[in-house]
Every structure is written in structure tokens, then in C-alpha cells.
Structure 1
Amino acid sequence: MFRPLSLYVGLRYTGAKRSNHFISFISLVSMLGLMLGVAALIVVLSVMNGFDRELKERILGMVPHATISGYGEPLQNWHELAFRIGKNPKVLGTAPYIQAQAMLTQGGRVHGVLVYGIDPAREPNVSIIGQHMRQGSLAALGEERFGIVLGALLARSLGVSVGDKVTLVLPEASVSVAGVVPRLKRFSVVGVFEVGAELDAGLAYINIHDAAVIKRQGDAVDGIRLRFADLFEAPGEVRHIAADLGGSYLVNDWTRSHGNLFQAIQMEKRMIGLLLFLIVFVAAFNIVSTLVMVVTDKKADIAILRTLGATPGRIMRVFMVQGSLIGVVGTLLGTGLGVLLALTVTDAVAWLERALGIQFLSADVYFISYLPSQLQWPDVYLICGAALSISFLATLYPAWRASRTQPAEALRYE
């Protein structure tokens, strides 16, 4: 069977036992370094992709993609505005809201909270809260007067669950015969949601009619929440919609409330990827040192091959094959290990948390409470291609040195 001489000799050199064990050790270190570098890159980029996905699906699934509200005054004709906005093909849904900063108290415990008055029937058009109810249901807000849905961390800090009572305190004073007193209202907890994010600690929902009664707005609302088919089009599209509506409206979008978090994740992904590529470069330098030592060790063999008619190009290809094989094996092993870890790191970290009794990611500190991972094959292809390219480039200089070996000089002291 025909086998190219360069490939045959290169594979023989790679698999042959060497008298110099140090060279074999350096070859193994080069391969392991490349494997660990590729695996680390795949795992870390998968985790960053997971954080990016959770931000889009959970955080940006709970907060509105965009809002349209009046300048310092509630919207009276919100039904007509919502109908006109809904005609836009890029808008998936609309829902009215009333917003208030308040405090919740129960049993001497006090917690600041952002309260949204919502329409339970229309809220699923713009939010995923209905998909993350741990207790009760969102529909219960429409069945019971002055019901409230709390985030899981908020309910835990207040020590309440479904069926308990909490007191809502608005930062507005009411004048009565007893003097100036804060505006208070007793609510029944009808549901608890959990999205595994910081929103669980400071967000509450009540019926929009109850919110209008508390804020004394009648049928008016603070604004309209919009959900777009593509959230990245929201900042520009909501301004076009507001301009088409005519009049004076205040627009807001998710980039103002959570855009810095999204940009931070993208920046961290690029910077961490760049830093971890240094591991691959270190492994490539090991390949260079390995081949340089191999060339020095095989000078007599190179001279014999040259005297038998091997050209400098063929000698160069012999050592390129040897170095490239180290790169291919290291990259393939690293890819397999990285893909395996990327697919199992979420469950592995969760098991480790249960075994050690600690929580690495607390929702009080981070915007989610677990380690997400999303393997994206384009990242894997890019990492593999980069590792193989670097490994191939690392073989060029040692192979060129081998091709420059002069037979007479190499055999002089043999």
C-alpha cells in the first residue's frame, strides 16, 4: 500500500520509544496543555453563553422590552393606544401597568419592594411570570380583591406564604382626623414566583384595579408594556411607535435598566476567552521546544535520509507531521472533555452544592442562583480551528531547522 514517506516517517517518530525520556515528557506536557486549554475554553464560553441565555430568557422575560408612558401624568386612553401599538407586526404583545415604590411589612419585618399593578389576563403577553409560579397562580389576582404575588426571596425574608397577610405601605401621606398618616393597605398573598434571579427579592404584583384604587388614578394607568419579537430591535422600534402615535410620550427600554449587565457579560466572554487562549499558546510553545529537541536528537537520522535522496521539503514535512499530530490529538481530547463538561457542569455544580451544603451563586448577590451552561457548536468549531492552526504554525520553525541540517556536519562525530 502506498504511503507518503513524510507521513510514514513522521508517524514512526511520534510513536517510537525514545532513549531521551525528557523529550517524551515534554511531548506529553504539550499534549495535555493543549487538551486542558481547549477544554477550559469550551467550558468557560459555554457558561458565559448560559449566563447570556438566562439574561435574555429570565431577566428580560420578566422586565418589559419597552414601555410607553405619559409625561408626568397617567395615560387615560390606554385601550386605544394599546390597540394601535398592537398593529405593529414586530410587537408580540402589550399590557397596561401601574408602578409604585413601596414597603411590605409583616410581623415586624420590613422590605422595600417594586410593586406592579397588572392585568392578569394580559400579563402573559409581555412576561414569563406565569411560567414560574412556585405557589398559587397569577390568575388568582383577578379572583380575589387585594391579592398580591411575591418573589420567592421576598416571601422568605418576610416569612410568609400563600394565605398569609402583608401590609403594603406607600410613601405617600393621607390626611385624616388622626392627622397625617402613611397610606396603608392589607393584602393577602395569593402566589409566589421564582425565576432564580435578583427579581425574586424585590418584585411584587397586584391587580391593576387594586393598584388604581391605592394610587387613586381611576381608570388611568402609568403606561403600557411592550414585548417585541426581537428584543434587540426594541430600543429603536419603540421610539418609532411613540412617534407614530403622536402627542408626547415617555419611552423606555430594557437597555436602560439591564443593558449594562448584558454588555458586561459580552465583555467578560471576550476577555476570558482571550485570556484562556494563552493556555493554548503556552502549549504551542511546548510543541516548539519538543520539536527542537527532537530535531537535535534525530540529526543523524536526518543526515541519513538526506544522503538517501530526501529533499529539504520532505524532511520539513516529516517534523510538521509529528508536531501536528500532537496538536490534533490534544485538540480532539480537549474537545471531547470540554463538550462533556459543558453538558454536565450545571448538574455537577448543583450536586457539589448539595454535597457541601453551600451555594456558590446566591440570588442575593448574582442575578441567577445556579451555574448555567449552553454549548454552542460554532464556539467549539472556532476553538478547534484556532488550536489546530496554532499547533500547525508552531511546527514550522523546528521543521525548517530540521530541513537545514547538513549531512556532512551531522555525521561528522557519528
Structure 2
Amino acid sequence: MKPEYFIAGKIQSGGVSGRKLAGPVLKVAVGGIILGMVVMILSIAIGTGFKREIREKIVGFGSHIQVVNYDFNLSYEANPIRFNQELYTAIKELDGVKNVQRFAVKPGLLKSEEEMQGAVLKGIGDDYDTDFLESILQLGELPDFAGESPANEIIISATLANILNLQLGQDVFMYFFQEQIRARRYTIVGIYDSNLPDLDKMFVVADLRHIQRLNNWDADQIAGYEVLLNDFDKLDELWYEIYDLTASYISPEGAMLRAQSIRQTQPQIFSWLDLLDMNIAVIIVLILLVAGFNMITGLLILILERTNMIGILKAIGMSDWPLRKIFLSLAVRIAIRGLVWGNLVGIGLAMIQMRFGLVSLDPASYFLDTVPIHIDLSHILLLNAGAILAIFLMMIGPSYVATRITPVKAIHFD
């Protein structure tokens, strides 16, 4: 073992005298690193978890990618396209695609005995992935989408149920405005709550065949396809592939298709979510600066308390760089000790929250009922590597103080 590392180990273990003030100061520095690491881990875990939860809810209502008529707009009164089995199969066989499902939407007016509320009837078929709907379903069950004939059953949100004073099992009329006003009576078989009030207030889910009948569409006419992906990070890549597949498609009626991603249909929400990354980055930088300054203070005190030792080492011929390596090595060891404990505490708290959901939130303000947690191993490793590098770089300057101490004055220093 090189002498400088041996001396650093002795100083850390207390084998070298001079630990009068440095001991408490270094404990504070280690405590600062532990606290900082805990806050950084929780910030990343909560920020990532929040983005994932909100993103999955937005995707649950609109899918990752939609393939619709080229003139489709946000009026929710879409011109139909014809279901094409070859296109459906080609999209579904793309690497990274989880499911392709038919859908249609139609705006209308829900009316109970006391209240009325505008809503969008979303029709889905037996090929629809209902995992999201089942995850947010609070009461009742989903309609039977695979029956020989469509049942007059719908699921509505708890928000709409409260506005209209409706309950599970109750009938409700929905009015549709076309050439003439059409009324349909539906039975509420399920109530969901996604904690996203704007979307909850909008969507009512029913059988796709209801919308086909209301619009006088054929059985193979739909508003479009919804494409679910296995990995959100591949959204842009798969959007380009699906765009290429649909760009050359022209239906027998002359209709063209276009593919649009959830980022394109909900840009304001994803811009808001992207701001979270900036907030997390600011928190991490500030915490690293605070922890670094704590370490700088501790290292300077450590150097000053061992002025005599430095003078003796220089007097027997130790050069400046090995002398600086003593204190740089000591700083890194102390930092690693703080990081280890910080990781244990931070990951432990995150796992407890993930498992038990002890810290709750107000859904009206945060769109979630508990603090979300998502632990990504790559994020933790990058955070630790960055913290070690940042602290090491910040220690280079203070370690230079040891080289400015002259042997004659240092040996007589008390």
C-alpha cells in the first residue's frame, strides 16, 4: 500500500493525533452527505414516479399513438375509416407494440332528473386492452363488449356521478345532436376514478357498436385505431414507423390516414411534466453544492489540525502531490461512507412508501392519492457516480492548502 493511502486510513480511524475539532466537523459533513443523498434519491424517485403515474393515466384515456382519418380534429365528431385487417396486423406486429384496438367517440349530453352535463361517449370493442380501466374502476364492473348484441351499459366517472347525482345500477339518458336529437338510455354498471378531473369529467365508456349505430356506420367503420406500446421511451421511434405504414394508405372511399402520438394530442400536459426534470436537476445541484461546501469546511479544518504532521512529512521528503492525495483519499472515503448510508436510508424510505403508501396526497391538487415512487437502478448509479465525482473535484482546491505549508513553520505550529 502506498504511504499516502496508509496515512489517510490512519487519520480516518483515529490513529493519527490531532482529532480535537475535526472529528465533530467531519461527522457533520458525513451527516450532510447522508441527508443530501436521501433527499436526492427521494426527489428522483418521487419525480420519476409522478411522471410515470400521470403519463400512464393520460395514455390510458388516449393510448400512445392514434391512427385516424386525416381530417380528424378535436371536435370528437370524427369521419369514419374502414377497418383494414392488413394494416391492423402490420401495426400489431411491429416490435414494441403491445396492442392495437378499435375505438370511436361521440359527444353528447348526459341528463339526470336534476342535472345535465356534456360528455364524450367513447366506444371500445372486444379487442380493447381493459387493464387501465380495471385499475381505476372503483365500483361495479365493465360492460360486456363481446356479446352478440351491445348491452345498454356504460361506465362513468365518480366526478360525473357526483355532478349528476347518479349511482351504480341507475339508468341515465344521453342525448346526441345530429340532424335530429337522439336519446339513448344507458345503465351504469361501473364507476371509475382516475383522479384527473378534466378527463374524468369528459369520458363515458360504452360498446363501440352503440356509436356505429348512432352514426349509421357499417360494422367495419370506426373512428380509428389506438396503439399501445410496451415502452414509452420508444414512442417517437414507433410513431415514425407507424406514420410510414399509414402514409400510403387510401381507403376505397378515398380517405387518408394519419398517425398522431400522445405528445402531439396532449402537448400542454407533457410540457408540464418535462418541467419536473428541470426542478429535480436544480434540487440535485443545490444539494451537491451544500454537501460539497460541508466537505470543504471539514477538509480545511482537518488540514489545519494536522499542520505539524504535514510539516514533518514534507521535511522527510514527501512531495506535494502525494501529500494532497492523503487528504483527497480521506475526503473520498468520508464521502463514500456518507453515500453508502444515504443510499440505504433513501432507498429504504422509498421502498417503504412504495410498499405501504404511508404519505398520502390530495387528489384534487396532485391528481394522485399517495406519493408515487419509482426506483430506477440506472438513476441511482448515475447519481452516486456524479456525487463522488463532484465532491472529488471540489476537494482538489482545498487540498492545495496542504502544499502551501512550509516545514519549518509547520513543525513549530501549535
TM-score if structure 1 supplies the norm length? 0.83
For residue 245 of structure 2, the aligned residue among 241, 246, 263 is 241
Alignment correspondent of 1:9 = 7
Taking the aligned partners of 1:328 and 1:201, their CA distance within structure 2 comes to 51
Taking the aligned partners of 1:43 and 1:408, their CA distance within structure 2 comes to 50
Q: 1:139 aligned to 2:138?
A: no
Taking the aligned partners of 1:109 and 1:347, their CA distance within structure 2 comes to 41
Deviations 1:186-231 (A, max 9, x none): 2111223344544434211122222233344455745222315453
Q: 1:315 aligned to 2:320?
A: no
- Which runs of structure 2 are paired with 1:25-44 in the superposition (5 Å)? 25-44=24-43
* Cα pair distance change 1:233/1:160, threshold 3 Å: farther
Q: Any idea what SS the aligned residue of 1:62 has?
A: helix
* Cα pair distance change 1:172/1:371, threshold 3 Å: farther
Alignment correspondent of 1:179 = none
Q: CA deviation at 1:101?
A: 2.0
Shifted more, 200-209 versus 365-374: the winner is 365-374
Alignment correspondent of 1:118 = 124
Query: Which amino acid is 2:176 matched to?
Result: L
Query: Which amino acid is 2:25 matched to?
Result: I
* Cα pair distance change 1:96/1:4, threshold 3 Å: closer
Q: CA deviation at 1:389?
A: 1.1
Taking the aligned partners of 1:47 and 1:311, their CA distance within structure 2 comes to 48
Deviations 1:38-59 (A, max 9, x none): 2211111112222333245443
* Cα pair distance change 1:365/1:106, threshold 3 Å: farther
Taking the aligned partners of 1:234 and 1:127, their CA distance within structure 2 comes to 22
Taking the aligned partners of 2:60 and 2:308, their CA distance within structure 1 comes to 68
Shifted more, 325-334 versus 158-167: the winner is 158-167
- Which runs of structure 2 are paired with 1:147-158 in the superposition (5 Å)? 147-158=153-164
Q: Any idea what SS the aligned residue of 1:206 has?
A: strand
- Which runs of structure 2 are paired with 1:389-400 in the superposition (5 Å)? 389-400=389-400
Q: CA deviation at 1:94?
A: 3.7
Taking the aligned partners of 2:103 and 2:311, their CA distance within structure 1 comes to 84
Q: CA deviation at 1:391?
A: 1.9
Q: CA deviation at 1:397?
A: 2.2
Alignment correspondent of 2:206 = 206
Alignment correspondent of 2:48 = 49
Query: Which amino acid is 2:152 matched to?
Result: F
Taking the aligned partners of 2:328 and 2:71, their CA distance within structure 1 comes to 70
Alignment correspondent of 1:75 = 80
Taking the aligned partners of 1:6 and 1:413, their CA distance within structure 2 comes to 22
Q: Any idea what SS the aligned residue of 1:245 has?
A: coil
Alignment correspondent of 1:231 = 235
Shifted more, 86-95 versus 321-330: the winner is 86-95
Q: CA deviation at 1:131?
A: 5.5
Query: Which amino acid is 2:49 matched to?
Result: G
Q: 1:87 aligned to 2:94?
A: no
Whether the aligned pair in 1 keeps the contact of 2:102 and 2:226 (CA below 8 Å) is no
Taking the aligned partners of 2:27 and 2:179, their CA distance within structure 1 comes to 74
Whether the aligned pair in 1 keeps the contact of 2:37 and 2:346 (CA below 8 Å) is yes
Alignment correspondent of 2:280 = 272
* Unaligned ranges ≥5, structure 2: 73-77
Q: CA deviation at 1:140?
A: 6.0
Alignment correspondent of 2:106 = 100
Taking the aligned partners of 2:379 and 2:330, their CA distance within structure 1 comes to 27
Taking the aligned partners of 2:175 and 2:222, their CA distance within structure 1 comes to 19
Taking the aligned partners of 2:69 and 2:413, their CA distance within structure 1 comes to 90
Query: Which amino acid is 1:277 matched to?
Result: V
Taking the aligned partners of 2:224 and 2:393, their CA distance within structure 1 comes to 57
- Tell me how large the CA RMSD over aligned residues is: 3.0
Taking the aligned partners of 1:204 and 1:321, their CA distance within structure 2 comes to 63
Whether the aligned pair in 2 keeps the contact of 1:104 and 1:168 (CA below 8 Å) is yes
Whether the aligned pair in 2 keeps the contact of 1:46 and 1:375 (CA below 8 Å) is yes
Taking the aligned partners of 1:105 and 1:147, their CA distance within structure 2 comes to 16
* Cα pair distance change 1:139/1:244, threshold 3 Å: same
Query: Which amino acid is 2:9 matched to?
Result: L
Alignment correspondent of 1:178 = none
Q: Any idea what SS the aligned residue of 2:173 has?
A: strand
Q: Any idea what SS the aligned residue of 2:340 has?
A: helix
Q: Any idea what SS the aligned residue of 1:24 has?
A: helix
Whether the aligned pair in 1 keeps the contact of 2:150 and 2:207 (CA below 8 Å) is no
Alignment correspondent of 2:115 = 109
Taking the aligned partners of 2:348 and 2:293, their CA distance within structure 1 comes to 27
* Unaligned ranges ≥5, structure 1: 175-181, 354-359
Query: Which amino acid is 1:386 matched to?
Result: G
Provide the identity percentage.
18
Deviations 1:35-94 (A, max 9, x none): 222221111111222233324544313313213126477336x23x24433234326544
Taking the aligned partners of 1:295 and 1:365, their CA distance within structure 2 comes to 51
